[in-house]
């Protein structure tokens, strides 16, 4: 599975999250050999859990599936730049690569905000890449919030 295919799965998860009334962010975690270990969208409202971001959901599911808290060699695909909470979990899980579509200037923590992986206190620095249609991923979010305001 290549980056474009995997990010398309993450975007599909984001659209499913929006259909459930969740902020539309989707994530997919893929093993080094291309196996999809987990996929999810945000489930914060559904679970009444502020930590149930898409990234956290797939990290938890993959760790349980593999029976290991270290997800070395994996790639995390996300429709939106991860927040500070999620990048902390990504570092702790030792995810090898993070690939996202849309930037998040307000809440992102990879290339915006704290730039977590660049901090000297961060002990794991995954490869960061961009893939997919950033405009389409951003539009899903814009449409979701526009509908909430009307």
Whole-angstrom distance, CA of residue 35 vs CA of residue 71 = 13
Q: At what angle do helices 54-66 and 84-93 cross, to 10 degrees?
A: 20
Q: Is 86 annotated as belonging to a binding site?
A: yes
Q: Is 55 a catalytic residue?
A: yes
Judge whether 122 is annotated as a binding position. no
Q: Which of 75, 78, 69, 148 is nearest to 107 (CA)?
A: 78
**Active-site annotation holder among 55, 81, 103, 118:** 55
Contact 18, 65 (CB under 8 A): no
CA 6 – CA 76 distance, rounded (Å) = 9
Please give the biggest Cα pair distance in the chain: 45
Q: Which residues are annotated as a binding site?
A: 53, 83, 86
Active site residues: 55
């Amino acid at each position: 599975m290549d980056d474009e295919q995997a990010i398309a799965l993450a975007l599909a998860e984001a659209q499913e999250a929006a259909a459930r009334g969740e902020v539309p962010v989707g994530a997919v975690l893929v093993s080094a050999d291309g196996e999809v270990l987990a996929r999810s969208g945000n489930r914060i409202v559904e679970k009444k859990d502020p930590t149930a971001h898409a990234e956290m959901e797939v990290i938890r599911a993959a760790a349980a599936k593999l029976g290991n808290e270290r997800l070395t060699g994996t790639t995390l695909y996300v429709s939106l730049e991860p927040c500070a909470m999620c990048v902390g979990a990504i570092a702790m899980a030792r995810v090898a690569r993070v690939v996202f579509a849309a930037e998040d200037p307000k809440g992102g923590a990879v290339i915006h905000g704290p730039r977590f992986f660049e901090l000297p206190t961060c002990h794991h620095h995954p490869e960061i890449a961009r893939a997919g249609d950033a405009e389409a991923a951003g539009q899903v979010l814009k449409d979701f919030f526009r509908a909430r305001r009307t």
